[in-house]
Structures are given as structure tokens and as C-alpha cells.
Amino acid sequence: MLRRGGLLPHQIGGGVMNRGPVIFFSAFLAFAISFFAFVLLPQTQIGRQPLATVDGVANAYPAARPGEAHQGAEIYRANGCVTCHSQQIRQTGNVFDVVLTDAGTNLTAVLTAMNNHLNPAVEFALTDVTNALPKTILKAVPTKAAAEALSKKFTEAGAKTDLRVMPVGPDIARGWGLRRSVAADYLYDTPPLLGSQRVGPDLANVGMRLPDANWHLVHLYQPRAVVKDSAMPPYRYLFTTRKIGATPSADALVFPAGFGPEAGYEVIPTDAARALVAYLQSLRVDASLFEAPMTAPAK
């Protein structure tokens, strides 16, 4: 039924497109390229990524989530927390702090180096060299090369220095994380709840930021009890309110003054609420990785 040929000039450009198989294969080619680049290559590159080596210990990071936190991730997913909360920290770059850890034996040489290369407005005394080591002598040097060049002046004087890598960026300045998130952070997350919006704050590191379980439970039950004017909906369906019996329950939520249930009642978290909080507490990005180096704060 299909007649070929007899094309008119205005059809020449797409003439070949009169054939069904040509349409099929051109679409398939486009799909195959896109599939190759955005499905196959990422899988090849990071799909079998091993756990990271941290401080010389192989397969040390990330830690698997304990049972309750794992269940909590399911509660997080089921209730669509990911709709409003991202779990990824961005970083604009690194700055470097130079820390004097050991002054060595030639203190005068170190003092000279300090007076020559540090803040010219300050006249350092010998006590500055010996007192309270380790001591951050240079803060927020923008490039690694500059920081290394400066610390070299001190190592030449016989002192020992440490270079601290300090990630920077708005997310980090807000205290949401210590460094940017990378693929290795999500190896145990199925699904990875990365999120695309920050209606609420980022939660990548909420376990380090807000470790208090009661705070989280109260926040879930009545967000405005702990965050003024919070836009988060309450999750009262994850709790049961009951009359206080002979002895108040040890599990009951401790509310700030002026909040909570009416007198004589207590709020008990369900297993789901407890699991969710265990999950939130397990969210911490605290390891320095090859692809995202940072100097971890003292534990």
C-alpha cells in the first residue's frame, strides 16, 4: 500500500522520514546514546563503588544503618519527607588553615618566620611560639599552594605544621554539613533520598547537628513547640495520646512549657516515630574522603 518516491522539493529534507523504520531507528539511536551516557556509564563508574577507606581502615565508610534506623528510612520514604527536605550538601571550595603543632628546637627562627610571614600588624613574642600548641597561625588561606608555601617557611625553621582542609559554602556556613556530599555517602541508601527542595532545612547531617531524640519527637508531634512559626505539618498520627496511668510512662515526650497535651495526658511515640528519629540521628556525613577531603573536627 505504501508508495515510495515521487517526492516534491519541499519534502526533500525529511523525505527519508517517510519510512516507519527510519523513524524507529533514529529514535532508537537517540535513546541508545542517552542510555549509554546516563545509565550505563554512571553504573560502570560508580555502580560498584566499594566502601571508602578512612584513616587507613578499608571499607570503613559509610557505616550500615542499625535496624531501627533502617526501618526509620522506610517511614521517611513512606511519608514523603523527601518532598521538602534535601539530603545533599553543596560546597563552593576549600580554604586552608595552617596549624603550628610543634615549634621544634630553633624557637628564634620560628619567631622570625612568624614576624615575617604572618599578620604584619602584630609583633609576636617568644611566648607566642611556645604557648598553647597546636595553634592555628593562619586561617582561611584561599589556595593549597599558598598555604603550603607559607607552612614551608616554618618547616624550614625546624617547626612542624599541619594543613587543615576547611570546606566552605553557604550550606556549610549554615551548619548543615562539614563538607559536600559525594556519591560514596549514599552507598547504603536504597532509595537515596536526595531531595530536590529545601522547604525545610537540609538533613544530610542532622544526626550530628541535632542529636537529641526528645527534640526530634517533640518536633514531629508539634513542630511549632520547638521551631517558632515552623511550616512543617505535625505528624500526630505517629504518636498516641493517652491518660497518664498510675506512673507516667518513661517514653512520654517532654514538652517545653506551654506546649503538649492537656493536663493529665501524655504523648507516647509509636514504633514508627521512634524508628524515624533513629534514622534522623543516623544521618551524619563526617568522614574525610579522597574526593571530598576535610579535616574532621576533634571528636
Q: How far is the CB of 297 from other proteins (least distance, A)?
A: 19
- DSSP codes of every residue in 197-223: --SS---TTHHHH---HHHHHHHHH-H
Identify residues 61-120 at the interface with other proteins (CB under 8 A).
Answer: 77-84, 86, 88, 90, 92
Residues that bind other proteins (rule: CB under 8 A) add up to a total of: 86
Closest Cα partner for 86 from 285, 289, 257?
Answer: 285
| Block residue for cell numbers 492537656 | 262
Among 234, 241, 268, 288, binds other proteins (CB under 8 A): 234
- Residue 36 interacting with other proteins (CB under 8 A): no
Instruction: Name which of residues 135 to 164 contact other proteins (CB under 8 A).
Output: none
Using rule CB under 8 A, residue 265 touches other proteins: no
Residue ranges of E strands in the chain: 52-54, 57-61, 93-102, 135-141, 160-168, 239-243, 265-269
Residue 24 within binding range of other proteins, rule CB under 8 A: yes
User: With respect to other proteins, which residue has the nearer C-beta, 65 or 77?
Assistant: 77
> Please, what sign has the CA dihedral across residues 129, 134, 135, 138?
positive
Considering beta carbons, is residue 6 or 297 the nearer one to other proteins?
6
Strands (E), 72-211: 93-102, 135-141, 160-168
Considering only residues 98, 185, 253, 279, which one is a binding residue for other proteins as defined by CB under 8 A?
185
Which of 187, 208, 268, 296 lies at the binding interface for other proteins (CB under 8 A)? Answer: 187
